[in-house]
Amino acid sequence: MSTAVCTTPSLASLSIPARTAAATVPPAVRRGAWQIAPGEAMSLKARAASVLRVKQGRVWITPDATLANPSEDLVLAPGESMTVAAGQRIVMEAWDGYGATYTWDQA
C-alpha cells in the first residue's frame, strides 16, 4: 500500500497531544489508512507516483519547490486528493486539533 519514505528524523522528540481524536474516527475510516495526530508533522517522499487521499480531518501540505513548480501550501479536506510525483517530497501536518486520516497509494 505505501510507496513513500518518511524522511522525518524522529517523531519521538515531538511534543504531541494524546491521540484522543482517534477514538472518534470510525473504524471503517481507519482501516487501511494512516493517521496523523494533532500537532504532528511528517515529511514523505514518493518512491513512485502516488496519490494522497484524505479520509477524515484536514491536512496542510507543503510540496518541495522545483524550477517548474514553486512551493504552494495546500489544504485538503475529506474526499480530496493530490498526486505526488515519483521523487517528490511533501511535508504534511494535521490542519486542526482533531488530527486526520489519510491513504497513500500508488497512482
| Cell numbers 474516527: residue | 25
Q: Could you read off the pLDDT of 32-83 as tens digits, one per residue?
A: 789 999 989 999 999 999 999 999 999 999 999 877 778 789 999 999 999 9
Counted residue by residue, the chain has a size of 107
Q: What share of the chain is helix, strand, coil (3-state, %, to 5)?
A: 10, 40, 50
Sign of CA dihedral 66, 68, 71, 73: negative
Q: For 82-104, what is the mean pLDDT?
A: 93
CA dihedral 44, 47, 52, 56 (to 10 degrees): -50
